[in-house]
Structure 1
Amino acid sequence: MTTPTTAPADALAQEFVQFAVESGVLRFGEFKTKAGRLSPYFFNAGLFDDGAKLGRLAGFYARRLLASGIEFDLLFGPAYKGISLAAAVAIELARAGRNVPFAYNRKEAKDHGEGGTLVGAPVKGRVLIIDDVISAGTSVRESIAMITAAGATPVGVAIALDRQEKATENGQDAPWSAVQWVREHLNLQISAIATLADLLQYLQATQAPDLAAHLPRVAAYRDRYGV
């Protein structure tokens, strides 16, 4: 089993994990992933489903981005989850003194009005993609295609949680994660509010016995599928 980490705790990540657990967005049990794995935890950003939770989530994104050093001129939210995320993060960045335009895409092109698939600010300059997680990189590649077609430059992806687990390729475990693949093959910077390592630190430090009880299974999952 994974031994307890000795790395200093990331305060922002620990605060976020606690928030996700308390909001019921990060749950423990047995969940089947897209790859067919039985995961002992499940993160569903769609459950940040009211104004207070979405606003606080966006605040975490904004704080992480402002500290990341990533230089960007526009936020881009891929349909559908990314739309509300990009809008909310733009609001929180503006509150922090960094007013950034945002845009998003439609799943189907509109043939009247302004037309096209892109909505919002003109897609130009250095573009940061806002999403919840990177599962296979498919959404990122689709976003890159739209951004580059508009004449802009994708520079990074901001996500809530990096699961830090092996991607699958042709039904087999790959030696890299989807996040690593996006960083190395698509040459994009990644800003994650928290990672699986942060979740393990949270479970190691918690004083709640019902939460601490999940540590062995989450650690075993990391040992088997982690990168």
Structure 2
Amino acid sequence: MVNEIAEILIKYNAIKFGEFTLASGAKSTYYIDIKTASTNPMLLREIGKAIADKYGSEFEVVAGVAVGAVPIAVAVSLAANKPYCIIRKEEKDHGLAGKIVGDIKDKKVLLVEDVVTSGGSVVYGIEALKNGGAIIGKVVTVVDREQGGAEKLKGMGVELNSLVRASEIMNRK
């Protein structure tokens, strides 16, 4: 499975080379652009299926932080035939206010992410889910850049799993 996902990410040009500033503020000579690559239905379907097949028995609801992880959460939801929720970047103060769209209270939730570097976005998601009453012990990312995210989550009592590690993609390129 890992090999298939790595090959698909390479095939759909999800790896860009140059000078980039990541969301964490770190500088990098490569960028993993799953947001754009996941606009391809074949790639998105494969990612959703891979996560649902491997982790589907471990959750009741799948969650994604807006914007990048939402398509992945939807793909996993469809593949696993389970509900999903959206974690907003900012709490809404009108309409049905709140950070979470979807029912998570007292449910076992799997948080998905496109790429984890330092884990900042994932930490935000975990905290929002816990504050909303969810039970969360695992995060699945498409790509782990292997730059401290797993260690940060471990310190929170949450396990980070990935479909592929950046080193595996870079070794295939």
TM-score bin, normalised by smaller chain: 0.7 to 0.9
* Cα distance, 1:74 vs structure 2: 1.1
Matched with 2:62 is 75
TM-score by length of 2: 0.83
Answer yes or no: is the 8 Å Cα contact 2:110–2:140 preserved in 1: yes
* Cα distance, 1:152 vs structure 2: 1.6
Q: Residues 74-113 of structure 1: matches in 2 within 5 Å?
A: 74-93=61-80, 99-106=81-88, 107-112=90-95
Count of aligned pairs between the two proteins? 170
Task: Evaluate the alpha carbon distance shift between residue 55 and residue 100 of structure 1 in structure 2; reply closer, same or farther with a 3 A threshold.
Answer: farther
- Distance in 1 separating the partners of 2:103 and 2:170: 39
TM-score by length of 1: 0.65
Question: Hey, which bits of structure 1, 4+ residues long, moved more than 4 A?
Answer: none
Matched with 2:162 is 192
Per-residue deviation, residues 144-170 of structure 1 (Å, max 9, x unmatched): 2221122221111111111123xxxxx
Answer yes or no: is the 8 Å Cα contact 2:77–2:84 preserved in 1: yes
Answer yes or no: is the 8 Å Cα contact 1:128–1:156 preserved in 2: yes
Task: Evaluate the alpha carbon distance shift between residue 86 and residue 36 of structure 1 in structure 2; reply closer, same or farther with a 3 A threshold.
Answer: closer
Answer yes or no: is the 8 Å Cα contact 2:14–2:37 preserved in 1: yes
Answer yes or no: is the 8 Å Cα contact 2:91–2:97 preserved in 1: no
- Distance in 2 separating the partners of 1:105 and 1:69: 20
Q: Residues 160-175 of structure 1: matches in 2 within 5 Å?
A: 160-165=142-147
Unaligned runs of 5+ in 2: none
Task: Evaluate the alpha carbon distance shift between residue 101 and residue 30 of structure 1 in structure 2; reply closer, same or farther with a 3 A threshold.
Answer: same
Q: Residues 149-164 of structure 1: matches in 2 within 5 Å?
A: 149-164=131-146
RMSD over equivalenced CA pairs, Å: 2.3
**Rg bigger for which structure?**
1
- Distance in 1 separating the partners of 2:170 and 2:110: 28
Three-state SS of the structure 2 residue aligned to 1:125 is coil
